[in-house]
Amino acid sequence: MNHEPWLAALTGELRRHGVGPDLTGHVVAEAATHLLDSGESPLRVFGAPETYARAVVDSLGGPDVRPPRRQPGPVRLAARGITKRYRGRTVLDRVDLTVRAGQIAAVVGANGAGKSTFLRICAGLLSPDAGTVEVHGTLGYCPQDGGTAEFLSADEHFVLIGAGRGLGRAEARRTGRAEASGLAWTPPRRTQARHLSGGTRQKLNLVLARLGEPDVLLLDEPYQGFDRGTYLDFWHEVWRWRDAGKAVVVVTHLLNQLDRVDVVLDLSGERAA
Amino acid sequence: MNQERRAQWLRGVLDLCVLALLSRGESYGYELSQALRAHGLGAVQGGTLYPVLLRLQRSGLLTAHWREGGTGPARKYYRISPAGSAALRAAAVDWSAFASSVGTILREEPKR
Amino acid sequence: MSRTLVVAEAALRELLRRRTVLVILLLMPLAFYLSRRGDHLGQSIRFVCLGLAWALSTAALFAGSAARGIEPRLRLSGYGSRHLVLGRLLALWTVGVLLSTPYFLLVLADQRDVRYGAIALIMALTVFVSVPFGLLLSAVLPRELEGTLVLLTVVGLQMVMNPAGSATRALPFWFSRELATYAVDHTDGGYLTRGLIHGLVFGVALTVLVVAAAAVRLRQRRHLRLAI
């Protein structure tokens, strides 16, 4: 009986739940031995991979043993007094945001509160009516949708964006694939972007924003279409980037991750003012 | 026996049973599950057993090491630690007292 | 330079993967050619050149619109607007040469007593002009439908208007009829000179406009200060 798919799923789930690689290896190897000895189906002995992973995590006394947060570094992004009006309606009214190296900022607010507009202004894709944005370092931007070329494969995207960042072909492909594996994704060799599912295309989008390791990452709800596991992977990656000293700005309407970010910019009240 | 009730009882004492079995010598997960079954506790699935072993190991009551088997694959062997033996002795006394109290209540003649 | 080539390569791959579009592009000038095959000797040559112009402008228009989504991101990833626009021009010019070569061979095989060199020149200028023309339309008119309608109007006018009238000189493919007259009717060199100048002027002007439009659209915004 082939237990590999179940064991692989368990590995993924343990990692998603923040279990380190060593312990994950032990737990999976022990489960594999047991299955070999008993000859029973993994679902019967251990249950679903996610359920078992959660039981393991519970027995550790809590998920996600994270290293202590380091002191934030120098200012990477400083937006001051950003004001934007659309047809007489003020969408953004003197919005300020400062993000330092090693910090995650969440931009929250209801639909139409101007979250994407604010991010596009920070990326320099849109001009504000007033205000300035200062960026210290290189910028990476992941749009909500679009941002990929329909008829190109993932590898061709890596080469194209990588060349802009000064990466050679082989290096760009290698870096892109390494980043993709962080999202539990192995880009297919030939498949063109138009044949990828919505969630997978967003993974590509996210990997492209990371190519060349920019100092400031602007992510506009990049997890649309992600399943739950990938969503958790995404946040693990964001924390990893933070720990590597990047400044990350994430537009989100989901509030359950806010305890894990350093700065919150709430745009909900903007229009009422 | 009512399966659900037995599972409920077992949840409270599985760690003690594991400690007791290991106090007679080191063992590994599958062997422990067989021993529990042989003692009439039914099938204790890996999904229940290993998290208990992990918790006992993390709290220092068990030590564990990997060893190549003569024929089979490498196995994770568990051994009771001195702290584990002490915990087992204390818990065994508590359990006897608890079980005898329950027994007394269950055996009492109903009053007329 | 290498960045321009990477953009050109990617754009070329994208174009070559739209198989259906390519087949239609390839057949369109043929339809034009065959429709006038039985008429006056030179008419089919004039029409095949206009067909090429139309096909290539349309291809450039759609390629330009399709690139709008990813260009801002490429700009952010370290490309200058000149890399992006020159890369795309290069790719489309290459496609243009690939597309017109079989037609030149067709004329070579099918027509007698014409100036083949002049016909090659018409095709080269057609490729040169129609690519920036289509790209400029896509830059000015964000919706493909609007751009297509403008293209339809321009090429339609080019066919029906009297080439001797001065107003037709304002149309981008006027040179094509002028040079065709030189090639087919063996007229004097004045036709050749006028056509050549017209084509070159339009080609250069349209290319400059396309580069300028991209520079404006993908400019570094004034509110953003980048300190590396």
Please give the full DSSP string across C168-194, using - where no structure is assigned.
Answer: GGGSTTHHHHHHHHHHHH---HHHHHH
- Interface partners of chain C (CB pairs < 8 Å, 3 or more) are A
User: Is the Cβ pair C72, A211 closer than 8 Å?
Assistant: no
Distance from CA of B15 to the nearest CA of A (A): 12
**Token pair 């506009």: residue:** A220
Cross-chain CB nearest to A30 (options B50, B52, B72): B50
Cβ–Cβ below 8 Å for C225 and A135: yes
Tokens 């990326």 locate to: A123
Which of B30, B48, B58 comes nearest A34 by C-beta?
B30
pLDDT beyond 80 at B97: yes
Note whether C150 and C141 are within 8 A (CB). yes
Q: Which 3 state secondary structure label does DSSP give C70? A: coil
Alpha helices in chain C (DSSP H): 2-17, 19-35, 43-67, 71-76, 81-110, 116-140, 144-160, 174-185, 189-217
* Chains sharing 3 or more CB pairs under 8 A with chain A: B, C
Rounded to an integer, what distance in angstroms lies between the CA atom of residue A35 and that of residue A148? 44
Enumerate the residues of chain A whose CB falls inside 8 A of the CB of residue B14. none
- Among the partner-chain residues A126, A131, A135, the one whose CB lies closest to the CB of C226 is A135
Contacts of A33 in chain B (CB under 8 A): 28-30, 72-76
- Whether residue B27 has pLDDT greater than 90: yes
Using a CB–CB cutoff of 8 Å, tell me whether C19 touches chain A. no
What mean pLDDT is reported for chain C?
89
Contact A164 C79 (CB under 8 A): yes
Residue C166 DSSP code: G
Name which of A121, A151, A153 to mutate to probe chain C: the one with the most chain C Cβ atoms within 10 A of its Cβ. A151
For B38-103, strand residue ranges (E) read 62-68, 74-80
Contact A116, A144 (CB under 8 A): yes
Tokens, residue C154: 């321009």
In a domain, C187, yes or no: yes
pLDDT of residue A273: 37
Nearest to A55 among B51, B72, B74 (CB): B51
Residue C224 lies in a domain: no
State the residue for tokens 């720990």. A243
Distance from CA of C123 to the nearest CA of A (A): 28
| Gap between the Cα atoms of C171 and A117, Å rounded | 40
Task: Test A164 with C3 for CB contact under 8 angstroms.
Answer: yes
Tell me, yes or no, if A37 comes closer than 8 A to chain B by beta carbon: yes
Flag whether residue C78 sits within 8 Å of chain A, measured between CB atoms: yes
Check residues A270 and B86 and name the one with the higher pLDDT. Answer: B86
Instruction: Write down the residue that tokens 């981008």 correspond to.
Output: C172
Model pLDDT for residues C160-212, shown as the tens digit of each residue: 877 777 778 888 998 988 888 888 888 888 889 999 999 999 999 999 999 99
- Closest-CA residue to C131 (of C172, C74, C71, C101): C172
- C170/C183 Cα distance (integer angstroms): 22
Q: What is the pLDDT of residue A111?
A: 81
Domains identified in chain C, total number: 1
Q: What number of other Cβ atoms are within 10 A of residue B24's Cβ? A: 9
pLDDT of residue A70: 63
CATH 3.40.50.1980 assigned to B3-107: no
Position A59 scores a pLDDT of 82
Element (H, E) at A237: helix A228-243
The encoded tokens of residue B88 equal 């087992």
With an 8 Å Cβ cutoff, are C78 and A140 in contact?
no
Query: A103 by DSSP, 3-state: which?
Result: strand
Q: Is residue C38 part of a domain?
A: yes
Residue A163 near chain C (CB below 8 Å):
yes
Return the sign of the alpha-carbon dihedral for residues C65, C14, C50, C145: negative
Query: Which residues neighbour C184 within 8 Å (Cβ) at sequence distance 6 or greater?
Result: C41, C42, C45, C46, C114, C115
Against chain B, the chains showing at least 3 CB pairs within 8 Å are A
Q: Are A67 and A243 in contact (CB under 8 A)?
A: yes
- What pTM does this model have? 0.70
Contacts of residue C77 in chain A, CB cutoff 8 Å?
Answer: 140, 161, 164-165, 208, 211-212
Of all residues in chain A, the one with the smallest CA distance to B59 is: A60
Model pLDDT, residue A130: 94
d(CA A159, CA C69): 18
Mean pLDDT of C86-109: 93
Closest C-alpha among A97, A138, A101, A137 to residue A119: A97
Query: CA-CA-CA-CA torsion for C82, C87, C88, C90, nearest 10 degrees?
Result: 120
CB atoms within 10 A of CB A80: 15
Q: Which whole number is the average pLDDT over C21-31?
A: 88
C128 CA: distance to closest CA in chain A (Å): 25
- Its domain, for residue C21, covers 2-217
B40: left (phi over 0), alpha (psi -120 to 50) or beta: left
Residue of A nearest to B49 (CA): A46
CA dist., res. C78 & res. C81, Å (int):
10
Task: Kindly list the residues from chain B whose CB atom is less than 8 angstroms away from the CB atom of residue A61.
Answer: 55, 58
Asked whether the beta carbons of A115 and A272 are under 8 A apart, the reply is no
Tell me the mean pLDDT in the region B2-25. 89
What's residue A64's pLDDT?
43
Please answer yes or no on whether C10 and A152 come within 8 Å at the CB atom. yes
Q: Which amino acid is at A262?
A: D
- Specify which residues B75 forms β-bridges with: B67
* Residue A41 touches chain B, beta carbons under 8 Å: no
Enumerate the domain spans of chain B. 3-107
Measured between CA atoms, the residue of chain C closest to residue A76 is C227
Q: How far apart are CA B85 and CA A62, in angstroms?
A: 26
Contact assessment for residue B95 and residue B87, using Cβ atoms and an 8 Å cutoff: no
Tell me the residue length of chain B.
112
Q: How many CB atoms lie within 10 A of CB C120?
A: 16
In this complex, whether C and A touch, counting 3 or more CB pairs under 8 angstroms, is yes
pLDDT in the model for residue A272? 40
Q: Residues of A with CB below 8 A from C3's CB?
A: 163-164
CB A166 within 8 Å of CB C78? yes
* C131–chain A nearest CA distance, Å: 20
Cα distances from C94 to residues A145, B70, C56, C124, C131, in angstroms, run: 31, 69, 11, 11, 10
- How many angstroms separate the CA atoms of A152 and A130, rounded? 38
Q: How high is the pLDDT of residue C130?
A: 96
Q: B-chain residues within 8 Å CB-CB of A58?
A: 51
How would you write the pLDDT of chain A (273 residues) with one tens digit per residue? 688 889 989 988 888 887 877 788 888 889 998 998 888 899 999 999 999 998 888 887 644 444 445 678 899 999 999 999 988 888 999 999 999 999 999 998 888 889 999 999 999 999 999 999 999 999 999 988 778 999 999 999 999 999 999 999 999 999 999 888 878 788 999 999 999 998 899 999 999 999 989 999 999 988 888 877 778 778 878 888 988 899 999 998 766 666 678 888 988 864 443
